[in-house]
Amino acid sequence: MKNKVLLISLLLIANFSFGQLLEGRLKYHANQEIKLLGYEGFETIELAKTTIDSVGNFNFNYNNQYKGMGYIETSDKSQLFIILNESGILIKGTHLKEPDNITILNSKENQIFSQYAKEHNQREQALAGWKYLLPQYKTTPIFQQQKENVQLIEKETKRLEEEDAIFLNNVDKLTYVSWYLPIRKLLDDMPLSAQRYIERIPQHIADFRQLKLNDKRLYHSGILDDLLEGHYLLLENSGQSLDNIYVEMNLSTDYIIENLMENEELLNEVVHFLFNLMEKRSLFTASEHLALKLLNQNSCTLNNDLARQLETYRAMKVGNIAPDIDFSIGETIHTTNTKKLNEM
């Protein structure tokens, strides 16, 4: 009997030590299926799945090796994004589409994440207003005499920007959220800068080229695709000449390839994504550079499908002899007329 009890205890310990625990109560989602999802590069993966009980309770026991961003999703497609870096996270609320009624307990990182998201949005709204007013007060004749207001606007703008930086600098550097928030901020700021704040673009470019793209935290962040696309869209809309845009794109492409050279699997995924992005946006000069950069080095292996895609650019490189075109394909073997382009 003692041995049986001991065996059961060991099984229970093994079961719970295997994973991290996330539980919650969402009373307006009672009896719905709920999933816990995470990310691997460009893919979304299912970490756990269960059914919420009749009063709204649920719990997940998921792989304790997973560290990064994730989200829960109910059968009515409601979602809540969370940082999965702590065990014992507790979610309480009514419905996921009522974020003001959602509380996350037992998770310092998620509380910081929620606080920053809310305050950063408020600061950005205020900054947009002040930055709109500043040139009005500087150039509009009826406001030009109000120099003290110009100084006030400049001071408040600087304070808001510094307040955001202070918040990020004060987050514990050992946490996932301290790494994630600056990258999330970069992702959110890039399209705004292309539209309104072009003076910030050089800093965004520099920040991107300092990222460690091989970092496992980025692989599980859920923003790898948006980050890459956002960077190239920023370059495309940076207001430079097309030649300069391609120069900047090629510099970023070189940085990405060199940064990922030791991780062939991820390099193949990223290059495939970038190649398709460039083709979709007709950035053929950039895609040619990407293709030739990879094909002309021997330090990594490309998968066959990707290599075939890239080879089209090496074959069609300026100065090469174009492949002959055979017009006789599909016709009968009795045809005697000239059917090849080089015979015409």
The model carries a pTM of: 0.81
Q: How far apart are CA 172 and CA 158, in angstroms?
A: 24
- CA 226, chain centre distance (Å): 4
Q: How far apart are CA 106 and CA 315, in angstroms?
A: 58
The torsion region of residue 143 among left (phi > 0), alpha (psi -120 to 50) and beta comes to alpha
Q: What pLDDT is recorded for position 344?
A: 54
Q: What pLDDT is recorded for position 270?
A: 95
Residue type, 19: G
Sign of CA dihedral 259, 265, 269, 272: positive
Beta strands 19-26 and 89-93: pairing type?
A: parallel
Question: Strand pairing partners for 19?
Answer: 63
Q: What pLDDT is recorded for position 45?
A: 96
Q: How far apart are CA 91 and CA 334, in angstroms?
A: 77
Contacts of 142 (CB under 8 A, 6+ apart): none
Q: What pLDDT is recorded for position 252?
A: 98
CB 95 within 8 A of CB 28: yes
Q: How far apart are CA 136 and CA 165, in angstroms?
A: 27
Q: What pLDDT is recorded for position 119?
A: 92
Nearest to 253 by CA among 223, 289, 285: 289
Three-state SS letters, 126-185: HHHHHHHHHHHHHHCCCCCCCHHHHHHHHHHHHHHHHHHHHHHHCCCCCCHHHHHHHHHH
Q: What pLDDT is recorded for position 274?
A: 95
Beta strands 19-26 and 79-84: pairing type?
A: unpaired
Nearest to 77 by CA among 27, 29, 31, 131: 29
Q: What pLDDT is recorded for position 196?
A: 86
pLDDT tens-digit profile of 218-270?
999 999 999 999 999 999 999 999 999 999 999 999 999 999 998 999 999 99
CB 143 within 8 A of CB 136: yes
> Which residues of the chain have a pLDDT value below 50?
5-17, 321-322, 333, 335, 341
